[in-house]
Chains A and B, each alone.
Chain A
Amino acid sequence: MNRDPKRKKGTLKIFLGYGICSGKTCAMINAAKEAKKLGQDVVIGYTCFYSLEEASIIEDIELLFPNSISCKGERRVSFDIEYAIKRKPNILVLDEMSHKNEFGERHKYRYQDILELIDSGISVYTTLNIGELESYHDIISSIASSAIKETVPDFIFDNAQEVEFVDIEPKKLLCRIHQHTNLKKESKKDIYTIDALTSLRKLAYRRCEDKADKTLREEKSNALNNKYYFEEHILVCISSAPSNAKVIRTAARIANAFHGTFTAIYVQTSSKQFRKERNESVNENIKLAKQLGAKIVTTYGDDIAYQISEYARINGVSKIVLGKTAVKRSIFQVKQSLVEKINIAAPDIDVYIIPDLKSSTKQQVEKDFSWDIPTIKDIGKTIAVLTGSTLIGALLHCYDLGDTNIIIGYLIATFFISATTHGSICGILSAMLSIFLYRNMFLHITSFSYVENRKIIITSIVILAVAILVNRYKSRLKEQSEQVVNTSLRTEVLFNTSKMLRQKANIEEVIEGTAEQLKGLLQCSIICYTKFDEEIVGPKVYPYENETIDTWDSATQIYEQKTVEWVFDNRHVAGYFTDTFSLAKAMYFPMYNNEKVFAVIGILLERRKQLDSFEKNIIKAVLTEVGFVIEKIVLNEMQEEILIQTEKEKLRSNLLRSISHDLRTPLAGITGSASFLLESYELLDKESKESLIKEILKDSTWMSQLVDNLLNMTRIQEGKLLLKRELEVVDDIISEAISRIRSRLGKREINVSMPEELLLIPMDGQLIIQVIVNLLDNAIKHTKEDGQIYIKVYKIENSDCNTYGKFEIIDDGNGIEEDILETMFECFVTEQKGVTDSSRGIGLGLSICKSIIQAHRGEIGAFNNRKGATFYFMLPIEGISKENE
């Protein structure tokens, strides 16, 4: 069920009709029968007939489920997509593309089922009414005066490989509709009049023609090698207005009619952001535009007209489609309408205006004030400030410093309260209270004159105006700062994420880090599934703070597992809050690169209930970042792999060359001596015979040692060096090594110095013996006949308080040549450069020593003494166990 990009996808054939009873299903079944005759594996997933008699036409086509056939008016049966994919027929017949699935099924809509089937390689036959296409939604409403609820996005229709229009005369269709009495009465009355049906038929014809044309053009442009040709580019503006959907649909139709590219632009302004209801309707509209095949562009800026016209100018937009919004006139600034502004900014672009009567400015004005109930603190503050200004007023009044100053005092108080309290109530209340207080405390109501009255009215207006203005700007300022905070938060999160991710060396760490990051960001628990050897592992839970996570019952577990599997296979978001597997407890996001999904991150939203669009965007941005990082890691790993491989190859070929050379040399000696002995046995005296035999013995001993080394070498090189680590007594190891080398010692003497206490070191005895033998052999090679060799073993402690056993092999030879001191532990470094004929040794010994010591997590090295050289190695001692009696 894996989604393999190279795998063959299924095709989609749509039988298009323009009303019910137009014979789509029959046409589809007939086509299915044809296909079956041609040897295809055809299965019916679901069909719907008007009567059972009619259903008899399916004859012998296999039914996926016993209840795959239903009659109109019956309860619709659910369709098990998992079983269908498992059955994997060539062609699956699935009636009624626009069907909305029952709550709790895998996908919300049937067309999603169809897309998944096609992706998994199954061809689908389905039926569709022209009126069920998303872009015709409004037209159908206007023709038939009742909206169709279940619609299908246009791109599915446009991308379908085959569309067969099942035509019928409207009159005949009407007759048929009347025949089938088991239909609901109202649907007959409302939608199906001759006029309406004719319009629908025209629409269907036009759509089919468009599609045919489009296919033709695509083929042509493919043939022309995708050369650029002039194209209309239609831009539609998305707003939060509820009627905007209609504008978008109209634009889609225009784009379709002109065969142009279609872009939807959403301008995010500071004042528009982060209002929940609005955001939701904007999201709805964006989703709609996407479904209609638009490319979505979001720009940020306060000047909508400028943003739109700039985008249009730069991207070669030819037509802009706008909804006509009522223009909000402000007292302080004379505003041009959006259309006027765009006209001025981009005079050479056509602007289409779609009447948009429902949108009103009322909503917008409301937004500037929030009627939240003030907090006790705010009320306290209001009272305190007003009392204060009243007291100051009283003071001023006592000294008779004039009313103006008192009024200014109140004005400042109102300003202060409006600006610092939450919501608008306190500000306006304080304005009213100020007027009341001023009037009652400082004016003599008894001598209430006309002049006084006028004065107070004007004062009231001024104070109120101050309160209102301050409130307006305050709310704007607040929004703007909110936006700034959000934007900076987003930037910070992304920055932190990428910083964090860059430090991660492998995919597991990346997944872990991402889960932690998202947990902190969304403030809810995260679960994480990973894939290991095609097995889904998990969930690993990252609880938010001390949130407890309910254990799932087995049914839930199976459902979650299924959801996760689906996400792994389809690399698409699913689960809670989405259209797919919406009953899942968590919302699942895939983490993937180009090739495969590495992990699925689930966000447990049970306590949060939902995500806002800001959070969704951030999750997407984070996951995109993660995708890049994973890609990078995978590439790195691949490169490393290749590098290692080439290294290995190089080593192997070098090794082969050296071995064949170095084996041939002693072999030549052995063969020569032996054949000479055989041929001239009688002629030779005893002494020469002995010397020849000694030569043979020496060469073969040397060869057998070389082979030993080679055997160890291959063990190491194949990466199969499995250390058989056991606690070994160092004395034993040293004595064994010496006994192996004894025959080559000659007159050289080996002096051993061991620590008093018994030294037990975990090691692979055979390998360490080999190391010592190699080092001793080395020492023998570089010392004179009567040289001295010392072996010293002692315990040391390094800076990290780890104890090591240090072995030193010291000789009194001529020391190591300076220029190979650095490299001699590499493969094939020997002291004599160039001709290896003259000397024995292919420089394998030391490199094997190094590999063995490294496998023991030890250290190896060498240095020159005043006379001779010291080779040393250290082995870690972990927990010496002394088990004396």
Chain B
Amino acid sequence: MSKGHVLIIEDDKSILNFLAISMKTNGYEYEIAEDGLTGISKFLNNKPEIILLDLGLPDIDGLEVIKQVRLTSKLPIIVISSRGQDMEKVEALDLGADDYLTKPFSINELFARIRVAMRNAHPNEKVEQVFELDGLKIDFERRLVSVDNEQIHLTPIEYKILELLVRNSGKVLTHTFIQNEIWGYSEYGEHQSLRVFMANIRRKIEHDTTKPRFIITEVGVGYRFVEN
């Protein structure tokens, strides 16, 4: 039984080859589109469950593909970008892409992202009341957070941010997204207060802030709570 139906929109032959082989060996069904327009049409006809999208395509802008897909569907999109495409990456995420990978990436990373994306696409109906990971415990009902059985105090905003991250664990959340969720608006390029909040949360929940266990900074993009 296939783990899922993946549409790969990518024009680079060697990456395609590598992706195809790894998909096959890991039991995913896949199909390939070598340019954006073919990709869109295959998406419309074959109803894939997830899209891997390269941002640099020969015909149309990868961002355009995201826009088109998002018109009709909420299926997970994972963006593949090269180094130095930070701006496009963030833009893609803000347009509705679910996650991203930067070339070169390892195959484990890829499947981890795919798993997270698929899981988030089919959320568990029953919302967990308590979250536990590696000594961090969050009681959503009582709004209590403890580390190694020691209760810690979080301000309301810090708690909201942490909850948002945990609820989307494994998925990268852009600065803009978090700000919109927490404060309801976001000013372009103004993420300083968020950074300060994040740094404070980390200091409260992490043992060593330079080797974070829970919240990972995606520099220039946003934050990700580790996958459990």
Interfacial residues, chain A to chain B (CB-CB below 8 A): 700-701, 704, 708, 711, 726-729, 731-736, 738-739, 752, 754, 758, 760, 765-766, 769, 791, 881-885
Contacts and interface: CB of A to CB of B under 8 A. Distances in A.
A738 B211 contact: yes
Given A711-B83, A738-B210, A766 B219 contact: yes
B22 interface: no
Given A752-B211, A884-B196, 7 more contacts: A729-B217, A732-B195, A736-B217, A736-B219, A765-B220, A769-B219, A885-B197
B189 A731 contact: no
B192 A760 contact: yes
B199 to A, nearest CB: 5
Interface in B126-169: 155, 157-158
A766 B217 CA distance: 12
Contacts, number: 68
Contacts of B209: 731, 735, 754
12 contacts: A726-B191, A727-B192, A731-B210, A732-B219, A733-B219, A735-B217, A758-B203, A765-B219, A766-B86, A883-B193, A885-B155, A885-B158
Contacts of A726: 189, 191-192
Interface string B201-217: 01100001111100011
Nearest to A883: B193
Contacts of B212: 735
A754 B203 CA distance: 12
B145 to A, nearest CB: 16
Contacts of A754: 209-210
Nearest to A791: B210
B86 A728 contact: no
A881 B193 CA distance: 9
A145 to B, nearest CB: 88
B200 interface: yes
Contacts of A711: 83-84
Contacts of B210: 731, 734-735, 738, 752, 754, 791
Nearest to B193: A883
B184 interface: no
A665 B202 CA distance: 43
Nearest to B189: A726
A348 B82 CA distance: 92
6 A-B pairs closest in CB distance: A732-B217, A752-B210, A731-B209, A883-B193, A729-B199, A727-B192
A882 B208 contact: no
B200 A758 contact: yes
Interface of B: 83-84, 86, 104, 155, 157-158, 189, 191-193, 195-200, 202-203, 208-212, 216-217, 219-220
B221 to A, nearest CB: 10
A760 B196 contact: yes
A881 B217 CA distance: 20
A878 to B, nearest CB: 13
B155 to A, nearest CB: 5
Contacts of B216: 739
Contacts of A734: 210
Contacts of B196: 729, 758, 760, 882-884
A530 to B, nearest CB: 35
Contact of A883 (B86, B155, B192): B192
A704 B104 contact: yes
A732 B196 CA distance: 11
A726 B193 CA distance: 12
B115 to A, nearest CB: 20
Nearest to B190: A726
A884 B189 CA distance: 19
B58 to A, nearest CB: 22
B83 A708 contact: yes
Contacts of A727: 192, 195
B157 A728 contact: no
A726 B216 CA distance: 19
Contacts of A765: 219-220
Contacts of A884: 196, 200
A758 B196 CA distance: 8
Contacts of B211: 735, 738, 752
A758 B199 contact: yes
B136 to A, nearest CB: 17
A751 to B, nearest CB: 9
* Interface-centre pick from B158, B196, B211, B219 (highest chain A CB count, 10 A): B219
Contacts of A728: 195
Contacts of A739: 216
A769 B157 CA distance: 29
Contacts of A701: 104
A711 B86 CA distance: 14
B199 A885 contact: no
B200 A881 contact: no
Nearest to B218: A736
B40 to A, nearest CB: 31
B192 A881 contact: yes
B83 to A, nearest CB: 6
Contacts of B219: 732-733, 736, 765-766, 769
A736 B102 CA distance: 14
Nearest to B156: A885
A885 B212 CA distance: 22
A726 B83 CA distance: 19
A760 B196 CA distance: 8
Contacts of A752: 208, 210-211
Nearest to B223: A732
Contacts of A885: 155, 157-158, 197
B178 to A, nearest CB: 14
A700 B104 contact: yes
Contacts of B104: 700-701, 704
A761 to B, nearest CB: 11
A663 to B, nearest CB: 16
Contacts of B200: 758, 884
B191 to A, nearest CB: 7
A760 B191 CA distance: 12
B173 to A, nearest CB: 15
B208 to A, nearest CB: 7
Nearest to A765: B219
Contacts of B202: 731
A766 B89 CA distance: 14
Contacts of A704: 104
A530 B193 CA distance: 45
Nearest to A700: B104
A738 B211 CA distance: 8
A882 B198 CA distance: 13
A143 B202 CA distance: 109
B216 to A, nearest CB: 8
Nearest to B196: A883
A734 B209 CA distance: 9
B162 to A, nearest CB: 14
A632 to B, nearest CB: 43
A595 B182 CA distance: 62
Contacts of A733: 219
B184 to A, nearest CB: 17
A278 B217 CA distance: 86
A765 B220 CA distance: 7
A704 B105 CA distance: 11
A493 B32 CA distance: 82
Contacts of A700: 104
B29 to A, nearest CB: 27
A51 to B, nearest CB: 78
B87 to A, nearest CB: 9
Nearest to B104: A704
A700 B200 CA distance: 38
Nearest to B155: A885
Nearest to B103: A704
A769 B219 CA distance: 9
A738 B208 CA distance: 13
Contacts of A758: 196, 199-200, 203
Nearest to A701: B104
Nearest to A704: B104
